[in-house]
Amino acid sequence: MSTVDTTSGKRSALAPFAKPLAAVGGVLAIVAALLPWVTFTLNDGNWPDKSTLQFFDAPFAVTGFRWHLLLLGVLILVAAFAPIPSRGRVVRALGWGVAVVSFINGAYITAKGGGLGAITALDGATAFGSVAGLVAGVLTILAGYGYGITPVGEWKFKPPTPVAYLVLLVSFAGVLLAVAAMLTTGGVGTSNPYAGAIFLSFLGFAGGVLGALSGVGFIRWLSVLSEEHRVFSVIVLAACALLLPFTDAGNEYWMTVAANIGIYAATAIGLNIVVGLAGLLDLGYVAFMGIGALVAANFSGAAAANFGIELPFPVAAVIAAVVAGIFGAIVGSPTLRVRGDYLAIVTLAFGEIFTRSAQNDIGGMTNGSNAIPGIPALSLFGKEFNRELSIGAVKLPAGVLYYILIVLLVAATMAVFANLKFSRIGRAWIAIREDEDAARAMGIRTGQAKILAFLIGATLAGLAGAVFAHKNATVSYESFKFLESITLLAAVILGGMGSIPGAVLGASLLFVLPEKLRDFEEFRLMIFGLALILIMRFRPQGLIPDRHRRAELADEDVGGAPVDEVHAASKEAKA
Amino acid sequence: MTTPVLEARDVSMVFGGLKALKGVTLTLEEGKIVGLIGPNGAGKTTFFNCLTGLYTPTTGQVLLKGNTLPGDPAKVTDAGVARTFQNIRLFPSMTVLENVLVGRHVRMKQGPLASLFHGPAYHRGEKAARERSRELLEFVGLRGPDDELSRNLPYGDQRRLEIARALATDPAVLLLDEPTAGMNPQETEATQQLIFRIRETGVSVVVIEHDIKFIFGLCDSVSVLVQGELLVEGSPEVVRADPRVVEAYLGKPPEEVELDIEAAKGEQA
Amino acid sequence: MSVLLQQLVNGIVQGSLIALIALGYTMVYGIIQLINFAHGEVFMVASYGGLATFTLLPDDLKKSPAVALPLMFVGGIVVAVVVAVIMERFAYRPLRNAPRLAPLITALGVSVFLQEAVRVWYPNATSNLPYPKVFPEGNLSLGTISVPWTGVLLVVLSVGLSILLQTYINRSRMGRAMRATAQDPDTAKLMGVNPDRVIVLTFVFGAVLAGVAGVMFGGYLSNINIDMGFQNGIFAFTAAVLGGVGSIRGAVIGAFIIGLIKTLAGQYMPGGTQYDYVWIFIVLILVLVFRPQGLFGEPERVRA
């Protein structure tokens, strides 16, 4: 069998033009940032940040998306002339950033302004910002291909511990700022008519920069660094997260959203153990969260609860986690005999059995479609978690205590995941994922290991479910249907399988986007389905790929043997 | 006479109507290297799979130091029989060191709780495992960076890494399935030296190979398998001189062609 | 006794519907080992396609079932085939050599997308839509049992089309190419079989059957909704697995078994019809665990 290497040996016809294209693209992006974008003032008010002609009343006050464009343009010029690894990838990513920002703003203005006149020329006024930006983006992308899409740069540099700490600290602080910006940019859904556009445009910018950082090898280097100093990383990340209430995002609305994201992120990290580490596709995972939530609800002392006893939350949470874990082991037990796709279907069947049973109020435990309402809020020292908090002069928004609890939960889940990943059992899981037969030949009891993965994943989901029950005050089977399982799976895949920051990022994106895109609420799930297809097609390794996982789903950046050769070899070995 | 370290007694294997192995007996004395040769389809790999617990022999038994081997590859490895694969089966997306650490799996005491909480015992065990793994990498001659992903290694190094991974299970017996397939003469020579050094550490070795020169230069005893039957067994000199072997295996010129194909296959895999 | 007989007959009718869908799963899996999770949605889309065809007909044609019904079948089938071909070409084909997780997740994405596309863009699709009454009305009565004529038609169509398909695959040149590709794609390719064509054709056949099933579903149950694809898709998949994935006859027999389990469990098992799904899922799990090759499949040899 032979494989044809398609990545090298073929030089792009654009190669000689790469540098001029990038230069023109970069300059044009900067020009676009300074041009007017709208020919008149829209009905809903100025397009964000003075991008109508009024800009010229206040020259050089470049803010918002135009500031982003300006930055991208400068970065393109830097990338075109500075000696950096994998220039093609960097330039391509920046080009996409420019193109997306320009397209989103242009498209929104066109839609809101009632025609292309709004972004070209109308009544003597001209505004070619979006056109120029789009052209700049396309030119830059072409330049990227011209440079050639070479493997991602690999940084061998290993900094001494203090420097590593500093790098991690600065990076995570950057992440905090980015998250706060992501949450607050454009404001809350209904208050700003342009919220959706501002947010999407911001995502385009952030995506471009992230892609460039990833292309140049920084992200990979950072993730290796954070794995080496994982305790420090988790602490710093948690600290950063705890600072969020003190940023612009520190209001009740965002605390609630962030807390919900946290619950799903914790669940997604649990799922990541099963799917990302052990390579077992679980299509009914949200059922374990449901089981945890139902157990906690029944012990909460709510009027509709089945047990008249009210257990303290920690006890109820532990019971919820244990029960979910037991179910996890049961659902996982077919792995002893079933592999691959078939296992995925078994988990789907278990998930559906859960949904059906819960819907029909099995054993009188779930209240069926009436749900279990009125679950009391958690409280500590008489302080209810859903109230405001003031410590001296500092006033914190309502829900901040839940937020803190959930940040701690996520941090704990992350620590569990990281510890397991770098342990005997974690290595066994990865070995099973890579080659089950070889893993057995190394003495790994694969059946036990796989059931353990299901058990631990389910336990974490059960724990998250218990918090979910109190946080939302109501538990209904509706929250734990097939689509939720798919959403969690999508969060794991989008973020990057086996990677912890990936799971958090994936969960954030999937649960923030609907909040931000109220304009598209109707299309939310459709976009979601389309996104799954596109991710699998174009970036199957996810946004922040795990170092181990890189080759598993994608074969684009390969150093040695082409990946499909490896796959073909293992396929041959099985035949 | 001492108990042989590995003994296959009268092993037969039947798939449906096909008799893949017919009463094969093989004895491996401690500290020896036994070679297993035979034309394609002779049942060498099937026999290997019986030795490693992947197949349970239809009749007959396999004994390790006088005890019957369990019928599960994981338990067989635990008991002290390690193997490599004909087509390299490393964990491609794990680093070089991690591959060997997976081999340490059965010899590590770390339970789920230690894995979860990373207490002092975890760190001690992990450190010891890493040291042992690095030793083994050194031993097989892999001196490159151990945080390279294993799929990025050159072919010969992948073979060596597979041997290091198998040795990490502290085996009494090491089964090597075509360890020099696809190697050039220098690499083959180095592999031979490596196997001698493995024997010196007290590990007994069974080798399947197509390269007859290699086998005769390496082994203390050679068994020839033809059509599922043990044709001849004895020292390389005896086997080399046996007319039946010459006829069944060595005498036919087309065999040479086949060997080349095998080598080419190995190279690509 | 008559209740039992009636439920048996109902089970066979439901089984016929499931069989039509199950054939699509089993053929695609047989050729490219993909669980085409979105196939259930192809069936759903076809049902809406048939309904849309009827809505678009001029009023006088609407009144004549002999014209309207065939046109609805054509409409449903065309929609199903177009969707299936686009799906194969743009979602699955680029992933043909990818690890197996990728196409399965893509299939989930396609499934969500199709369901939502219909919900958003088809008028009033959020609620149950009544299906036009152009099907033969009334019941066939046999003693105490009665079957609607739509049910009879469903059984006839299902059995007839399965036999046709089986014959085609066994006898025709293209059928031989399909079987060859299923067994060994590389060798088939060397023998001059164009795998892309074979695979597209497999999707098309599956879609045609799903199209017929979609329209008949509307006729048999008189109204349709966007959840029908997911539910019946799972049933059909279970049937395909039960019969041994890749086997045409197995899928049909498996479908009848599933139909019977559904109606009989609904009648006789604790919990009644509220839990009939649960029993089917339990059967699915048991089959996958204890006889993954299906009731009629050959056990796979241990491989090393």
pLDDT of residue A569: 36
Do residue B153 and residue A425 have CB atoms under 8 angstroms apart?
A: no
Instruction: Find chain B residues with C-beta within 8 A of C304's C-beta.
Output: 45, 49, 54-55
What rounded mean pLDDT belongs to chain A? 81
Residue A536: φ, ψ to 5°: -60, -30
Strands B81-83 and B173-177: parallel
- Domain assignment present for C213: yes
Q: Is B23 helix (H, G, I), strand (E, B) or coil?
A: strand
Q: Which of B85, B114, B126 sits opposite A438 (nearest CB)?
A: B85
* A305 alpha carbon, distance to own chain's centre: 35
Residue type, A379: S
Cα(A457)–Cα(A542) distance, rounded to whole angstroms?
20
Could you report the per-residue pLDDT of C228-253, keeping only the tens digit for each? 998 899 899 889 888 887 888 889 99
Return the structure tokens found at B67.
């005890």
Q: Which of A438, A444, A551 sits opposite B93 (nearest CB)?
A: A551
What's the rounded mean pLDDT across residues A397-405?
83
Do residue C304 and residue B15 have CB atoms under 8 angstroms apart?
A: no
Could you report the per-residue pLDDT of A492-526, keeping only the tens digit for each? 888 888 877 787 788 888 877 777 776 677 888 88
Least confident range from A115-129, A373-387, B4-18, B121-135: namely A373-387
Instruction: Find chain C residues with C-beta within 8 A of A482's C-beta.
Output: 230
Cα(A213)–Cα(A217) distance, rounded to whole angstroms?
6
Contact C16, C158 (CB under 8 A): yes
What's the rounded mean pLDDT across residues B210-227?
88
Would you state the CATH architecture of domain B14-20+28-80+171-268?
Answer: 3-Layer(aba) Sandwich (3.40)
The CATH number assigned to the domain holding C264 equals: 1.10.3470
Q: Where along chain B do its domains lie?
A: 14-20+28-80+171-268
The yes-or-no verdict on residue A390 having pLDDT over 80 is no
- H helical segments located in A496-562: 500-516, 524-538, 550-553
Cα(C161)–Cα(A395) distance, rounded to whole angstroms?
71
The yes-or-no verdict on residue A170 having pLDDT over 80 is yes
**Which residue do the tokens 């604790």 mark?**
C270
Q: What is the pTM of this model?
A: 0.85
Do residue B94 and residue A551 have CB atoms under 8 angstroms apart?
A: no
Do residue A434 and residue B105 have CB atoms under 8 angstroms apart?
A: no
Return the structure tokens found at C211.
């199209």
pLDDT band at A122 (very low <50, low <70, confident <90, very high): confident
- Domain assignment present for C52: yes
Q: What percent of chain B has pLDDT over 70?
A: 91
The yes-or-no verdict on residue C102 having pLDDT over 50 is yes
Could you report the per-residue pLDDT of A26-54, keeping only the tens digit for each? 999 998 888 888 888 777 777 776 666 55
B74 to chain A, any CB pair closer than 8 A? The answer is yes
Instruction: Find chain B residues with C-beta within 8 A of A572's C-beta.
Output: 87, 269
Nearest to C40 by CA among C102, C90, C100, C110: C110
Domain that holds residue C49: 2-138+147-290
Do residue B151 and residue A550 have CB atoms under 8 angstroms apart?
A: no
Nearest to C226 by CA among C124, C158, C154, C132: C124
Q: By CA distance, what is C302's nearest residue in B?
A: B55
CA-angle at A417, arms to A415 and A419, nearest 5°: 65
More confident: C245 or A478: A478
Q: By CA distance, what is A336's nearest residue in C?
A: C289
Cα(A145)–Cα(B246) distance, rounded to whole angstroms?
60
The yes-or-no verdict on residue A575 having pLDDT over 90 is no
- Domain assignment present for C168: yes
The yes-or-no verdict on residue A154 having pLDDT over 60 is yes
Could you report the per-residue pLDDT of B151-160, keeping only the tens digit for each? 889 998 999 9
**DSSP states along A416-484:** HHHHHHTSHHHHHHHHHHH-HHHHHHTT--HHHHHHHHHHHHHHHHHHHHHHHHHHHS-B-GGGGSHHH
The yes-or-no verdict on residue C125 having pLDDT over 90 is no
More confident: B171 or A308: B171
Cα(C30)–Cα(C244) distance, rounded to whole angstroms?
10
Residue to substitute from B77, B118, B158, interface A, most A β-carbons within 10 A: B118
Return the structure tokens found at A383.
């302080």
pLDDT of residue C162: 94
Could you report the per-residue pLDDT of A11-27, keeping only the tens digit for each? 667 778 888 899 999 99
In A, residues 478-517, which contact C (CB 8 Å cutoff)? 482-483, 486, 489, 493
pLDDT of residue B127: 93
The yes-or-no verdict on residue C66 having pLDDT over 50 is yes
Return the structure tokens found at C24.
């699509």
Q: Which of A345, A533, A553 sits opposite C101 (nearest CB)?
A: A553
Residue A53: φ, ψ to 5°: -60, -20
More confident: C63 or A387: C63
- Domain assignment present for C206: yes
Could you report the per-residue pLDDT of A263-294, keeping only the tens digit for each? 998 999 999 999 989 989 899 999 999 999 99
What's the rounded mean pLDDT across residues A5-13?
52
Q: Which domains does chain A have, with CATH numbers?
A: 15-215 (no CATH), 250-574 (1.10.3470)
Q: Which of A341, A522, A537 sits opposite C120 (nearest CB)?
A: A522
Residue type, C26: T
pLDDT of residue B195: 95
More confident: A415 or B133: B133
Return the structure tokens found at A179.
């998250």
Instruction: Find chain B residues with C-beta within 8 A of A443's C-beta.
Output: 74-75, 77-78, 105-106, 169
The yes-or-no verdict on residue B111 having pLDDT over 60 is yes
pLDDT band at C300 (very low <50, low <70, confident <90, very high): very low
**DSSP states along A395-418:** EE-TTHHHHHHHHHHHHHHHHHHH
pLDDT of residue B254: 47
Q: By CA distance, what is A486's nearest residue in C?
A: C108
pLDDT of residue A177: 81
The yes-or-no verdict on residue A540 having pLDDT over 90 is no
Do residue C302 and residue B45 have CB atoms under 8 angstroms apart?
A: no
- Domain assignment present for C301: no
B190 to chain C, any CB pair closer than 8 A? The answer is no
What's the rounded mean pLDDT across residues A568-575?
37
Do residue A423 and residue B122 have CB atoms under 8 angstroms apart?
A: yes
The yes-or-no verdict on residue A557 having pLDDT over 60 is no
Residue to substitute from A423, A452, A497, A567, interface B, most B β-carbons within 10 A: A423
C301 to chain B, any CB pair closer than 8 A? The answer is yes
B78 to chain A, any CB pair closer than 8 A? The answer is yes
Cα(B231)–Cα(B238) distance, rounded to whole angstroms?
12
What's the rounded mean pLDDT across residues A44-68?
66
- Domain assignment present for C175: yes
What rounded mean pLDDT belongs to chain C? 88
What rounded mean pLDDT belongs to chain B? 86
pLDDT band at A55 (very low <50, low <70, confident <90, very high): low
Residue to substitute from C301, C302, C303, interface B, most B β-carbons within 10 A: C302
- Number of separate domains in chain C: 1
The yes-or-no verdict on residue C276 having pLDDT over 80 is yes
- Domain assignment present for C299: no
Strands B33-37 and B204-208: parallel
Least confident range from A131-135, A229-233, A350-354: namely A229-233
Q: How many angstroms away from the CA of C271 is the closest CA of chain A?
A: 9
- Domain assignment present for C81: yes
Nearest to B157 by CA among B95, B83, B218, B243: B95
pLDDT of residue A190: 57
Which chains reach chain A with 3 or more Cβ–Cβ distances below 8 angstroms? B, C
Could you report the per-residue pLDDT of B62-89, keeping only the tens digit for each? 999 988 888 888 999 999 999 999 889 9
